Homo-oligomer: A and B are copies of this chain.
Amino acid sequence: MSSKKYVYSFEEGNAGMKFILGGKGSNLAEMTRLGFPVPAGYTISTEACNFYSKTGKPPEGLNGEIGKHQKELESKLSKKLGDSHDPLLVSVRSGAPFSMPGMMDTILNLGLNDDSVKGLIEQTKNERFVYDAYRRFIMMYSDIVLKVKRGKFDRELREMKRKRGVKQDTELTAGNLKELVEIYKDIVKKETGEEFPREPELQLKKAVMAVFESWDNPRAKTYRKEYKISDDLGTAVNIQTMVFGNKGNDSATGVAFTRDPSTGEKKIFGEYLTNAQGEDVVAGVRTPKTLSDLRKELPDAYDELIASMGNLEKHYRDMQDVEFTIEQGKLYMLQTRTGKRTAAAALRIAVDMVGEGLITEEMALKRIDPLQLDQLLHPRINPNAKLDVLASGLPASPGAATGEVVFDADTAEEEEKAGKKVILVRWETTPDDIHGVIAAQGVITVHGGMTSHAAVVARGMGKPCVCGCEEIKLDMENQLFKVNGTTVKAGDIISIDGSSARVILGEAPLIAPSINPEFQKILGWADKYRRLGVRTNADTPEDAGKAREFGAEGIGLCRTEHMFFGEERLSLVQNMILAESDEEREGVTEKLLPFQRGDFEGIFKAMTGLPVTIRLLDPPLHEFLPNFTDLKVELAEMKLKGVNKDEIMAKERLLHKVRAEVEMNPMLGLRGCRLGIVYPQIYKMQVRAIMEAACNVKKEGFDPKVEIMIPLVSHVNELMVMREKTEETIKEVLAAKEMNILYKVGTMIELPRAAITANEIAEYADFFSFGTNDLTQTTFGFSRDDAEAKFLAKYLEDKILPVNPFEALDQSGVGYLVDTACKLARKTKPGIKLGICGEHGGEPSSIEFCHKEGLTYVSCSPYRVPLARLAAAQAAIGAGEDTTK
């Protein structure tokens, strides 16, 4: 064990080592290697953290290695931790392979104690700065390592400001701060029973372990779950020489992006605070200044920063997010990483960089997260609407949302679970609020800027966010806020527009999104590279039209059941189900025919020239009937109320019939082609409606491409019989209309037995469409209606299942059956058309699987069509790691 290397100096690493050194560590090493002004330091590897997570103790030899690197660092800088004349101070920062902003712990100014304080004053001649650093260190170390609540220190800081009659921290004098240091040390003594630790080596060792532990804190876990980051990666720990942005007005600290993370525009975008440490910017405690001010305040440092950022972007070939500190005029780069961005920015940056020759089209395609596109496809506020704008702030994350006001993260989570849409309103957000941001539709903060925690997290999630909305007067105690004379209480409806940074009273009217030119360009490239077709699931002409606009190449699943729910229709459907004889049933279906025909005409017109796969009626019939329990209750009540006998008898008859349709497990009951076999009138009517509609629109000059799909086949004979009946009806219609329409008849593969016997079923099918929703239900034995609430949430929480199989296709189980079915089907019909129309058709990892299986197309909801086009291209380009990321 002792032969394993756990610690790397910045000179030893490079950008390719992010799984060992973390993102921050590997980039610090890379910048060091390239000669950027990086304060010296070393990194403890993620492997040490993983060892600690599993065993609760550091690996053997780690402390020795740290000691060795610490010595090297000290000799390089000719300074020593804790030295009473010229002390070295270091920061101890987490840094995982994937960025988890603010989720884990960081300790600054480590190495301070009552001795080194003197040394630092001797060196800096700046007592105020030194005591400011000392009080910050005591608070951070106590909070993170000693687990003393931060609030206890904050309270004393506020109290000190109050007593001295000042508003800003910067107005406190050296004497005030020195006094505060003593008060802080007393708090530690009182809370832990021990003195604040003096020995810098001990401080360092404990700080490293505390950072390891922060890998498993609840907010980090929540974040990883949301972003599907593996718990096994661990975090690295970076020990770096401190530089100080709080050494006076020639010092500053800030963060900056090489391009605008909201819009993608090619211009430096950043914020900083003079005389401050980095945490002040990120936490949004003071509202920061923009970089243009820095140009005026510290022009040399500014120029060097701009040059460095340009070089970094060229080197990494991607937009960079940097942290910098200026110590008495000298610039230090403390971090660089690929910057998070909105979907719109991602598209624009990718397109621009291809234009600039920085990256290729393939790289551009691979770089965009398909799931993020969703943001662009969501509605925005109608620009022509008259709005009751309450306040404005900073446009921290674009998009629009409406919801009930909530004032804390826990409530946001509860309400969301109860099915409500909420807008989270906070002074500022901290990493502890992460679950609230996940639960909310959008976020408003009173404080904080464009790079504050709330802004970064909301942009990552594609949720609208308005920051720095200072007009809002929060009254947490009474659960309300006041703004310009209006009072808004918890539960009131508001809307926010993250793009224009407006907070609006009530529900704002939304309009459908459209696709901008960069988006079009990316999708055009995607179409060039992808091999999978992309269709849509649509049941109405409107949805079909929208999907076509988004690039759908046909309808992969047109459900016919939704068409049965119109008011006039539903009672006909009920009569059809409850018919007492075949003749009666036939009579009622006859009346439904014109409705269905009209539906299909609209869809065929919207999709003219493109294939339309229509699934015959699928769900259990009782979905269309009154609820059995309700009927029983009504009947019992009627009897007690002494309603007249005829009414009771009528209700009893209805109850009797409805009871006959009730099933124990409707998902496994009389539905799909079983309906078609038991009640042939229904499918016959549907097939007639489809073919008559096709004939009618063809006469009008449209080009209908009919594909009829028989659902829920488990045995080849079901399809054989239904195909025969279907074709009989088709022939009747075509003969009556004296027309010819090409058509296909296929089936869904959505039951394990169908997959297993796909070679037999393929004999009678012109195409297969994998219904992976149902296939997932039967393969796992999970009822989707029940699983989520009853046990699936627990399964995901306990990691019994790695992902929700209803979201991402379970490749080793459900995927095995899909694979088996594809192979068997091709044995019978080598060129058989194979598609997928479960919701997995719009999920990137599932789309990649479909590409590998060589399916003909995926079909997904209209708003997922662009995503699917991109994901299909990414699958075709190949899953190779983009090492520049």
Contacts and interface: CB of A to CB of B under 8 A. Distances in A.
15 contacts: A633-B633, A633-B636, A636-B636, A637-B637, A666-B786, A668-B777, A669-B790, A670-B790, A674-B791, A677-B795, A714-B813, A753-B779, A757-B813, A774-B781, A778-B781
Interface in A785-838: 785-787, 790-791, 794-795, 798-801, 810, 812-814, 816-817
Interface stretch (A571-579, A715-723, A732-740): A715-723
A810 to B, nearest CB: 8
A798 B680 CA distance: 13
A21 interface: no
Contact of A752 (B629, B717, B779): B779
A753 B815 CA distance: 10
Contacts of A756: 779, 812-813, 816-817
Interface in A352-385: none
Please state the number of chain copies in the assembly.
Answer: 2
Given A632-B632, A801-B715, A753 B813 contact: yes
A252 B3 CA distance: 107
A873 interface: no
A751 B668 CA distance: 14
A812 B785 CA distance: 30
A674 B677 CA distance: 35
Interface residues of A, number: 56
A790 B752 contact: no
A757 B816 CA distance: 9
Contacts of A664: 666-667, 783, 785-786
A628 interface: yes
Given A800-B718, A816-B756, A790 B678 contact: yes
A786 B665 contact: yes
Given A628-B629, A640-B641, A801-B717, A786 B668 contact: yes
A712 B641 CA distance: 47
B786 A677 contact: no
Interface string A767-783: 00000001001111111
A791 B718 CA distance: 12
A652 interface: no
Nearest to A813: B753
B800 A780 contact: no
A441 B636 CA distance: 39
A636 B640 CA distance: 10
A641 B637 CA distance: 10
A388 interface: no
A293 interface: no
A783 B672 CA distance: 14
Contact of A633 (B632, B667, B791): B632
Interface string A171-189: 0000000000000000000
B717 A790 contact: no
A783 B813 contact: no
A678 B777 CA distance: 19
B795 A757 contact: no
A630 to B, nearest CB: 8
Nearest to A793: B678
A663 interface: yes
A798 B721 contact: yes
Contacts of A785: 663-665
Contact of A778 (B779, B786, B794): B779
A676 to B, nearest CB: 10
Nearest to A780: B714
A668 B782 contact: yes
Given A640-B640, A778-B781, 18 more contacts: A636-B637, A640-B641, A663-B790, A664-B783, A664-B785, A665-B783, A665-B786, A669-B786, A677-B795, A677-B798, A678-B791, A712-B781, A714-B780, A715-B780, A717-B799, A718-B800, A752-B813, A752-B817
A126 to B, nearest CB: 57
A781 B751 contact: yes
A629 B632 CA distance: 7
B717 A800 contact: yes
A794 B715 contact: no
Interface in A667-695: 667-670, 674, 677-678
A664 B798 CA distance: 24
A791 B663 contact: no
A602 to B, nearest CB: 32
A640 B643 CA distance: 14
